[in-house]
Amino acid sequence: MNGVKDMFLTFLGATGTVTGSKTLVETSGGAFLVDCGLFQGPREIRSRNWEHFPRDPASVDAIVLTHAHLDHCGYIPALVRDGFTGPIFCTPNTAALAAIVLRDSAKLQEEDANFARRKGFSRHAEPKALYESDDALQAIDQFVEVEFRVDFHPVLGTTARFDPAGHILGSSTLTIDDGTKRVAFSGDLGRDNHPLLLSPASPVDVDAIVIESTYGDREHENVDAELEELSAAITRTIKRGGTVVIPAFAVDRTEVLLKALHDLQDTNRIPKVPIHVDSPMALAAMHVYQSAITDGDPELTSAAIAQGPDIIAPANLFEATTPEQSKKLDLGGARIVISASGMGSGGRVVHHLKAMLPDRDNCVILAGYQGVGTPGRALLDGAQEIKLHGKYVPVNAEIVDVGAFSVHADATELIEWLRGASAPPSRIFVIHGEPDPSATLAGRITRTLGISAVVPETGDRVEI
């Protein structure tokens, strides 16, 4: 017991940005975090990962994790190292995917620190990793798996429940009830057209909703038109002998892309060139998806289950597991390379971008959200050169933006999800967006739904 009688929320991340998701919930039974994500993107945002956590991590009783993306789970190992020992509640598929993501994240943090040390381009004399592999393994040990639609208790006297969010495998919306008040979190909200996952569940009768706003001021284009654009870009690049590089989030985006490429090859809309998935994490995640499909997981569409795991494994798929296999891809030639990270800010795709961007025969396809300050956003905005690993690289390759692969609801879909609530909440908190999309969505909610919607700032503590 912590002396708190009512429910309080404190917004510790994903405020004014789409990363670093962290909301502290205090109820009479204790304090827990909903998500504990890493800040990603430009240096001034990433530097927030190094700030002192505003509360003794040992005093946090639990973490409730909505899904396995790094911007929602990537800070957990740091919190564990600094004294957090409580349970981390998540769905079984989130546990499987987050284990892959956290191990990879720790390794990347270690590698980046080593690379910076060797090349001497860090501002710090002795670059340090944010956390290490042992911290990630300890965090994974604290996972407690809870199925969808089953009540659990993050702290005494508070009930919580996960429902499918349709965003990535295992992703959930969350409802918490402390006996006096009920709050729903959208987590990252998917769309109604994910090729593998069921649509997001509607919110139930709650006092307040915390909603994401990644695309709070944008509407996605027609998927068929964008698939046409994708197939046209691939076809003309292959025709001129170029390589197609697709930076892709390792979890889910890769699977959605593979499914699309599989369909496009099957209908002869793109040439049957080799497709390389070059990311150990993406490959590990792909195997989790394949197992879920094989097992007929209830969050998957019946069509995906009926088609079986080959749905995301086209016949000419090559798995690049070793660094040598990865390096060979930079020799060029008619092929498609899918590699992480999705915004070109880290991982093996940075090497591919360095090798491919100077040649006008090649093509980089941007297939997802590109955060401010990332190489992907610079390409999207038409940069003539971009900085990769501390060096400027000329951009001569063709750049194509295909938003069809977004696994985030657009503005209208967010509003429709809220409208689907069994009773309207009295308050809405808009987070997980850059300032303009968040403000636009909040305004639209107030105008069209007549519900008070605010965009909280970092550190704001509100009583529900």
Q: Under the rule (CB under 5 A), what is the footprint of Zn ion? A: 69, 188
In the bound complex, what is the minimum distance in angstroms from residue 167's beta carbon to Zn ion?
Answer: 6
C-beta of 69 vs 259, nearer to Zn ion: 69
Residue type (1 letter), 231: S
In the bound complex, what is the minimum distance in angstroms from residue 334's beta carbon to Zn ion?
Answer: 33
In the bound complex, what is the minimum distance in angstroms from residue 252's beta carbon to Zn ion?
Answer: 8
C-beta of 320 vs 407, nearer to Zn ion: 407
Residue 193, both tokens: 């057209």
Peptide bond into 339 cis (omega under 30): no
C-beta of 273 vs 407, nearer to Zn ion: 407
Angle among Cα 192, 164, 372 to the nearest 5 degrees reads 70
- What stretch of H or E contains 119? helix 92-119
Dihedrals phi, psi of 463, to nearest 5 degrees: -90, 135
DSSP E strand stretches across 222-333: 243-247, 275-278, 317-319
Residue 135, both tokens: 């911290």
C-beta of 68 vs 244, nearer to Zn ion: 68
Between the CA of residue 275 and those of 196, 338, 420, what are the distances in Å?
20, 8, 40
Between the CA of residue 216 and those of 103, 194, 433, 441, 459, what are the distances in Å?
32, 19, 7, 5, 22
In the bound complex, what is the minimum distance in angstroms from residue 156's beta carbon to Zn ion?
Answer: 30
C-beta of 253 vs 262, nearer to Zn ion: 253
In the bound complex, what is the minimum distance in angstroms from residue 417's beta carbon to Zn ion?
Answer: 15
DSSP assignment of 226-245, as one string? Answer: HHHHHHHHHHHHHHTT-EEE
C-beta of 171 vs 231, nearer to Zn ion: 171
- What stretch of H or E contains 145? strand 143-145
Q: Quick one: DSSP state of residue 58?
A: G
Sheet holding 461-463, edge to edge: 143-145, 88-90, 62-64, 30-34, 23-27, 8-11, 461-463
CB distance 346 to 355 below 8 Å: no
In the bound complex, what is the minimum distance in angstroms from residue 21's beta carbon to Zn ion?
Answer: 9
Q: Quick one: DSSP state of residue 85?
A: -
In the bound complex, what is the minimum distance in angstroms from residue 69's beta carbon to Zn ion?
Answer: 4
Q: Quick one: DSSP state of residue 186?
A: -
In the bound complex, what is the minimum distance in angstroms from residue 82's beta carbon to Zn ion?
Answer: 24
C-beta of 250 vs 357, nearer to Zn ion: 250
C-beta of 61 vs 188, nearer to Zn ion: 188
